Amino acid sequence: MNAFADVHMQVMWNRLISVVEEQARTLIRTAFSTSVREAGDLSAGVFDRQGRMLAQAVTGTPGHVNAMAEAVCHFITDIGPDNIFEGDVYITNDPWKGTGHLHDITVVTPSYFKGNHVGYFACTAHVVDVGGRGYGPDAREVYEEGIFIPIMKLVKRGEVNTDLIHMVRNNVREADQVVGDIYSLAACNETGQNRLNDMLEEFGLDGIDTLAAFILEHSERATREKLKDLPHGSYENQMTVDGYDEPVTLKVRLDVTQAGIVADFTGTSPASGFGINVPLVYTKAYSFYGLKCALAPEIPNNSASLSAFDVVAPEGCILNAVHPSPVAVRHVLGHFLPDLMLGALAKMAPGTVPAEGAGALWNVHVSVRPTAEQLARNPASRGAEVLVFNSGGTGARPTKDGLNATAFPSGVHTMPIEITEQTGPVVFWRKELRPGSGGEGTHRGGLGQVIELAPAPGYDIRFNAMFDRVGHPARGRDGGGDGAPGSVSLDDGTTLKAKGTQHVPPGKRLVLELPGGGGFGDAKERSAEAAERDRIEEYVAGENL
């Protein structure tokens, strides 16, 4: 291919990325759930006819995107190539063939241009409720966690499967939001389809096969070029986290060879009896993300750039949980995997890798219900399911402090308090940075947050705790101090559990102190200027202006 043709292909590749960005923006604009609309807990992408991901929207999470990269092939297999038609839309929330738990709904739409099948569009979103026990880790089997939608047709040649919609509507607590989000997902793919058709018309193309070959060839070559000079060998790391009822060991060995990198999780704890287990598809998603962040961050993310990495995890371990294991909060352990990868890479390239961060999101799912007295005053009072994402601090970097209250590795935003308080009768009394929570070091770990919330007057709440790093804080690196552990309590000082469904008594408030990131390097080497800035900004505990 000559230079002019290469430039032409690059222009079309960039245009394809614009197509999937508009695809994702449609989902954000039309979604009902705040987790999608405000936090960006979604993914969107375009795939070739073989189900290989060609381009993804920047908006979205690695867990969704990288898991979806594998999911589309499951759709093709289960629907059957001879059963795929123009006007179809497919759906699932199968944790093992989708993105890891029932709360993520994935929708795949075959793409047609002038009657010819040219590829697929796919998208995923986290919905606020799927019935069952609700969004929390207490279930003992996936059957308890909510409605399970196998891979099936949501729309068949333009006709909506109303039976499925009725099933969903009658099995979830927030029917309007969940059904609305399902239609938003379908609209998201339709936008991608329309923009792709415009692009093919403009460039005079019949399909995307030639462009797909260009994208995949160049992405794989560029990724392997990045990896070719890495020192071959095996590099290990181990991390202990809180788990549910006992600590969990996450262990990895990275085998670096000419063929690529394999992450082997032999030695990791067995599956839990509670919903913190991780399906292999999600383990792959965040393992690949951690490796790609460190080794080839500027290479576009697609099936080819991910092909240099592989995962081995013993069946039945907590990172390769099999059906019917409970998996509702698989993100808790899944979000630790990039730091686990980075810790192993630090053995290969000392002094180049950040310290550990808070890792897992501190998601709070609150069920708010009117009291008997409130119903007597106003029989129209109703409850609500309220979901909020919150983040601790990231680990300090070799040359910079960690980031405060930042969601690494998921990349999601938190929902603004003002908007969250409109979704249900809950009041946030405090949301602020947590002084002193970042680990000391030449570079300080990022700070966590302090969050205090309670039901509005006349309402009662229970919440699903899915928190970690309470007993096992983020570790510093190269002499840096550990980040502060998190805590869960009432405003009277009563300690609550870090995982599981719990009740907030009337008149009390829930107080969450989120963990900080680890520090990097010896604290004695921290500059006087940085220390003074910490004092002025009140980032250090006990320091005041």
Asked if 347 contacts 236 with a C-beta cutoff of 8 angstroms, the reply is yes
- Where are the chain's structural domains? 3-219, 354-545
Asked if 144 contacts 132 with a C-beta cutoff of 8 angstroms, the reply is yes
Report angle CA 454, 460, 462 to the nearest 5 degrees.
80
Count of other CB atoms within 10 angstroms of residue 246: 8
Tokens of 160: 């909506």
Cα distances (angstroms) measured from residue 392 to each of 243, 275, 436, 451, 518: 18, 22, 12, 11, 11
Q: Order of strands, edge to edge, in the sheet holding 152-156?
A: 53-56, 42-47, 116-126, 104-113, 89-92, 152-156, 159-160
Give the chain's mean pLDDT.
Answer: 95
Quote the pLDDT of residue 406. Answer: 96
Cα distances (angstroms) measured from residue 513 to each of 73, 165, 206, 215, 542: 41, 40, 56, 45, 16
Task: Check whether 4 has a pLDDT greater than 90.
Answer: no
CA 51 to chain centre: 22
In the chain, the percentage of residues whose pLDDT exceeds 70 is 99
Pairing of strands 449-455, 510-513: antiparallel
Quote the pLDDT of residue 489. Answer: 98
What is the amino acid identity at position 329? V
For residue 495, the cross-strand partners are 489
Rounded-to-integer distance, Cα 357 and Cα 371, Å? 40
Q: Quick one: pLDDT band at residue 59, thresholds 50, 70, 90?
A: confident
Quick: pLDDT tens for 157-205: 999 999 999 999 999 999 999 999 999 999 999 999 999 999 999 999 9
Quick: pLDDT tens for 277-314: 999 999 999 999 999 999 999 999 999 999 999 999 99
Asked if 174 contacts 385 with a C-beta cutoff of 8 angstroms, the reply is yes
Question: Per-residue DSSP letters for 396-458?
Answer: PPSSSPPPTT--TTT-PPPPPHHHHHHHSSEEEEEEEE-TT-SPPSSBPPPP-EEEEEEEPTT
pLDDT (mean) for 4-20: 90
Quote the pLDDT of residue 224. Answer: 95
Task: Check whether 126 has a pLDDT greater than 90.
Answer: yes
Quick: pLDDT tens for 368-423: 999 999 999 999 999 999 999 999 999 999 999 999 999 999 999 989 999 999 99
Quote the pLDDT of residue 522. Answer: 97
Report angle CA 428, 434, 437 to the nearest 5 degrees.
145
Q: Quick one: pLDDT band at residue 543, thresholds 50, 70, 90?
A: very low
pLDDT (mean) for 496-516: 96
Quick: pLDDT tens for 438-472: 999 999 999 999 999 999 999 999 999 999 999 99
Quote the pLDDT of residue 378. Answer: 95
Rounded-to-integer distance, Cα 23 and Cα 29, Å? 10
Q: Quick one: pLDDT band at residue 545, thresholds 50, 70, 90?
A: very low
Asked if 126 contacts 94 with a C-beta cutoff of 8 angstroms, the reply is no
Dump strand ranges (E) for 127-243.
152-156, 159-160, 233-241
Close Cβ partners of 192 (under 8 Å, ≥ 6 residues apart): 19, 20, 22, 23, 44, 46, 109, 111, 121
pLDDT (mean) for 261-280: 98
Q: Quick one: pLDDT band at residue 60, thresholds 50, 70, 90?
A: confident
Asked if 216 contacts 32 with a C-beta cutoff of 8 angstroms, the reply is no
The candidate with the shortest Cα–Cα distance to 387, out of 429, 415, 407, is 415
Quick: pLDDT tens for 208-231: 999 999 999 999 999 999 999 999
* Distance between start and end Cα atoms, the chain: 64
pLDDT (mean) for 235-245: 97
pLDDT (mean) for 473-497: 97
Close Cβ partners of 161 (under 8 Å, ≥ 6 residues apart): 152, 153, 154, 155
Quick: pLDDT tens for 521-541: 999 999 999 999 999 999 987
Tokens of 475: 């570790």
Rounded-to-integer distance, Cα 285 and Cα 334, Å? 9
Task: Rounding to the nearest 10 degrees, give the CA dihedral for residues 367, 321, 412, 139.
Answer: 0
Instruction: Classify residue 507 as left (phi > 0), alpha (psi -120 to 50) or beta.
Output: left
Quote the pLDDT of residue 6. Answer: 81
Size of the chain in residues = 545
Q: Quick one: pLDDT band at residue 58, thresholds 50, 70, 90?
A: confident
Rounded-to-integer distance, Cα 130 and Cα 178, Å? 8
pLDDT (mean) for 504-512: 95
Q: Quick one: pLDDT band at residue 25, thresholds 50, 70, 90?
A: very high
Task: Check whether 33 has a pLDDT greater than 60.
Answer: yes
The candidate with the shortest Cα–Cα distance to 315, out of 96, 148, 70, 68, is 96
